[in-house]
């Protein structure tokens, strides 16, 4: 199998460096011979996707000096030292100082190839994890929690949020359990120019009918038994801000007509009061079920549904945006590392394949829990059930399914990294142009979505 990344083989003796580079090339590595440490330093930089193999004893700049210069550029770049018999003690000391490994002369070809391949795998993991973190940093706009993802559906959702946030239009958010409906609501609030006051949230399904009315509309002292003093309701409290009503489908029918009046008149009447209190607020409602169907079945007021349905934001489930899973998972791993004060393991290709292959019925919430277990090293990190080809639980993905899903995610990542530039993408992937376009058609991808 061809190794990912490049190898610089540094030796001042021409025959040795050419033989070493040729050995690596025959093993499928992209190897380049270098006659000096100075030349090697000109070819590498931070995030350079490769490893350096260097002889220790060289004129002008020896291998140990080269290693220290490389560590100053990137401390995670693997350096493999080639040593003579008398240099073993020195090589062991160099390992303590950060060398990846050392190989004693004379060495068999398979020893060199095996060491280089392990170093390349480590380097690939470092570069990939850095790229994920860089993408995450780019998504954080400093206003509110970032909406993580680069699939076409998420990009469309971001555009809707940016367009609607500057208006006072009420918004209906639709998404399955765990998709992040409150995160979207907070993004709308955070990007709003006028909504400078509070973000007030209420889960309509979490409170009994006897309490939710008072919570929403407030009450005057003596309005009912136990109402000792006046209480400001969530609607009034959210004035000049945003009122987020989660699980709006659970709101009692008797309160839906009162909420409709608030939306139409922008006034609220507390319990036990005859006065109307003006409010200036945006209402963002969220549901995991079809309100249109619920209204057709008489479980939700049709007029309230149409009043709320001015702008609809639909959040895709995680199984429909699998290309975003590595990015999201890295985001939650970073959060877990900060929360638990632990060091995170590397996100390996095998872990990525398992993440992409899972159906995620709990969506982003389930993925966050998996990231917590990964950081805490519970159940060997990622303890996921086997999934079938459709993404649901209960079966195994075939090898072909795993390969297709992983291949698609790689293509999407490179397209996103290069903003849809075909030439740069096919160079990064190392595939012919015709093969690349065949795969775009196969996976239903369009480069225009990444431009």
Per residue in 299-352, pLDDT (tens digit) is 999 999 999 988 999 999 999 998 899 889 988 988 888 888 888 777 777 788
pLDDT digits (tens, 9 = 90+) for 415-445: 877 778 888 888 888 888 888 888 887 777 7
The whole model's pTM is what?
0.62
Q: What is the pLDDT of residue 143?
A: 42
With cut-offs at 50, 70 and 90, classify the pLDDT of residue 382: low
Q: What is the pLDDT of residue 390?
A: 39
Instruction: Give the mean pLDDT of 228-238.
Output: 86
pLDDT at 142 over 70: no
Q: What is the pLDDT of residue 37?
A: 93
With cut-offs at 50, 70 and 90, classify the pLDDT of residue 386: very low
With cut-offs at 50, 70 and 90, classify the pLDDT of residue 393: very low
Q: What is the pLDDT of residue 54?
A: 95
3-state secondary structure the chain: CCCCCEEEEECCCHHHHHHHHHHHHHCCCEEEEECCHHHHHHHCCCCCCEEEEEECCCCCCCHHHHHHHHHHHCCCCCEEEEECHHHHHHHHHHHHCCCCEEEECCCCHHHHHHHHHHHHHHHHHHHHHHHHHHHHHHHCCCCCCCCCCCCHHHHHHHHHHHHHHCCCCCEEEECCCCCCHHHHHHHHHHCCCCCCCCEEEEECCCCCHHHHHHHHHCECCCCCCCCCCCECCHHHHCCCCEEEEECHHHCCHHHHHHHHHHHHHCEECCECCCCCEECCCEEEEEECCCHHHHHHCCCCCHHHHHHHCCEEEECCCHHHCHHHHHHHHHHHHHHHHHHHCCCCCCCCHHHHHHHHHCCCCCHHHHHHHHHHHHHHCCCCCCCCCCECCCCCECCCCCHHHHHHHHHHHHHHHHHHHCCCCHHHHHHHHCCCHHHHHHHHHHHCCCHHHHC
With cut-offs at 50, 70 and 90, classify the pLDDT of residue 402: low
Q: What is the pLDDT of residue 303?
A: 93
């Amino acid at each position: 199998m061809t190794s990912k990344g490049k190898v610089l083989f540094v030796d001042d003796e021409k025959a040795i460096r050419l033989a070493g580079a040729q050995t690596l090339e025959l093993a499928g590595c992209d190897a380049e011979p270098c006659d000096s440490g100075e030349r090697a330093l000109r070819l590498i930089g931070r995030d350079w996707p490769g490893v350096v193999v260097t002889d220790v004893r060289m004129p002008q700049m020896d291998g140990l000096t080269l290693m220290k210069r490389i560590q100053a550029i990137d401390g995670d770049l693997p350096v493999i030292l080639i040593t003579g018999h008398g240099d073993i003690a020195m090589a062991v000391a160099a390992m303590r100082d950060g060398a990846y490994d050392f190989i004693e002369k004379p060495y068999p070809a398979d020893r060199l190839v095996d060491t280089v391949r392990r170093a390349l795998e480590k380097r690939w993991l470092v570069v990939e994890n850095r790229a994920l973190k860089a993408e995450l940093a780019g998504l954080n706009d400093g206003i509110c929690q970032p909406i993580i993802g680069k699939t076409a559906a998420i990009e469309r959702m971001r555009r809707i949020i940016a367009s609607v946030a500057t208006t006072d239009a009420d918004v209906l958010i639709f998404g399955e359990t765990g998709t992040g409906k409150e995160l979207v609501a907070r993004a709308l609030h955070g990007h709003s120019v006028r909504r400078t006051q509070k973000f007030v949230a209420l889960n309509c399904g979490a409170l009994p009918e006897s309490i939710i009315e008072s919570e929403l509309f407030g009450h005057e002292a003596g309005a009912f038994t136990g109402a000792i003093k006046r209480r400001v309701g969530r609607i009034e409290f959210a004035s000049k801000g945003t009122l987020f009503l989660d699980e709006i489908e659970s709101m009692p029918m008797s309160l839906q007509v009162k909420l409709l009046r608030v939306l139409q008149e922008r006034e609220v009447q507390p319990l036990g009061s005859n006065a109307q209190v003006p409010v200036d607020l945006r209402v963002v409602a969220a549901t995991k079920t079809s309100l249109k169907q619920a209204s057709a079945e008489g479980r939700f007021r049709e007029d309230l549904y149409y009043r709320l349905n001015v702008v609809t934001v639909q959040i895709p489930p995680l199984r429909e945006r699998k290309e975003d899973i590595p990015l999201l998972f890295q985001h939650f791993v970073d959060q877990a590392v900060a929360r638990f004060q632990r060091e995170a393991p590397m996100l390996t290709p095998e872990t990525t394949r398992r993440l992409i292959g899972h159906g995620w019925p709990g969506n982003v919430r389930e993925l966050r829990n998996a990231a917590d277990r990964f950081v805490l090293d519970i159940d060997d990190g990622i303890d996921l059930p086997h999934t079938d080809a459709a993404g649901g639980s209960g079966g195994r993905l075939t090898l072909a399914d795993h390969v297709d899903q992983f291949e698609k995610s790689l293509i999407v990542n490179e397209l996103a990294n290069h903003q849809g530039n075909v030439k740069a993408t096919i160079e990064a992937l190392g595939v012919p142009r015709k093969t690349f376009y065949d795969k775009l058609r196969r996976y239903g991808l369009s480069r225009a979505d990444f431009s």
